[in-house]
Amino acid sequence: MDQVYNAVVNQLRHAVGLMLQGRFSAAAATLIVYAVYAALRAVGYLVTNREKMRRAETEIRNWEERRRKAVETRDAKLYERVLREKSRVDRLKRELEAERLKASIATFAAWLACFKILWDSVGGMPVVDVPLPWGYAKISFAAWFLANSFWAGALLDRVGLAVRALGKRRTR
């Protein structure tokens, strides 16, 4: 197994190492980071049961709306009927959280695996010259990966929301 891993790391070192040299190494490193994060989002997307989540969210939202309406109108009978469903709604909330946790765990495990492989292959390779008051400092790929990871996920989430919104607009 170690031989297979070492072969993968060496192939990746050769392939990615060529992209991380020269004038455009920072751009290539950034593209690699965003590609990895897009793949990680796909992992989370694939392990969740989206239909189950959508149904649970709809039922919870409807129940909360009925409960709010019962409180606003001060209708005791409606409020009692709504409260009878509370245990079912609580179970749906737990199932929804379990699906979200499943996606988070899968994404985190994939992130650790990707980071380990990238660290072993090109982690110490300097890719970016960062201007500092006393001169330039070379930043390694691993440091650049971690620095970009703070905003890569949020940016990709926003892009995904925009793409979904455009898709919904076109289907209307």
| Domain boundaries, position 127 | 2-13+22-171
Report the pLDDT value the prediction gives residue 19, as an integer from 0 to 100.
84
Q: What number is the average pLDDT over the span 59-70?
A: 92
Between 53 and 167, the more confident residue is 53
Tell me the pLDDT tens digit for each residue of 86-114.
Answer: 999 999 999 999 999 999 999 999 989 98
Q: In this structure, are residues 60 and 89 in contact, taking their beta carbons and an 8 Å threshold?
A: yes
Q: Max CA-CA distance within the chain?
A: 73
Question: Which residue type does 126 have?
Answer: P
Report the pLDDT value the prediction gives residue 60, as an integer from 0 to 100.
94
3-state secondary structure of 142: helix
Please give the structure tokens belonging to residue 82.
């709504």
As a whole-number percent, the residues of the chain with pLDDT over 70 amount to 98
Please give the structure tokens belonging to residue 72.
């606003």
Q: What number is the average pLDDT over the span 35-39?
A: 89
Tell me the pLDDT tens digit for each residue of 101-154.
Answer: 999 999 999 989 988 988 898 878 888 888 889 988 888 888 888 888 888 778
H/E segment holding residue 132:
strand 126-132
Report the pLDDT value the prediction gives residue 172, as an integer from 0 to 100.
63
| Mean pLDDT of the residues in the chain | 87
**Cβ density class 65-89: b for 16+ within 10 Å, e for less:** eebeebeeeeeeeebeebeeeeeeb
Q: What number is the average pLDDT over the span 157-161?
A: 81
Number of domains in the chain: 1
Measured CA to CA, the distance from residue 59 to residue 82 in angstroms comes to 12
Q: Which residue has the tokens 């890569």?
A: 152
Angle between helices 86-122 and 50-73 (to 10 degrees): 140
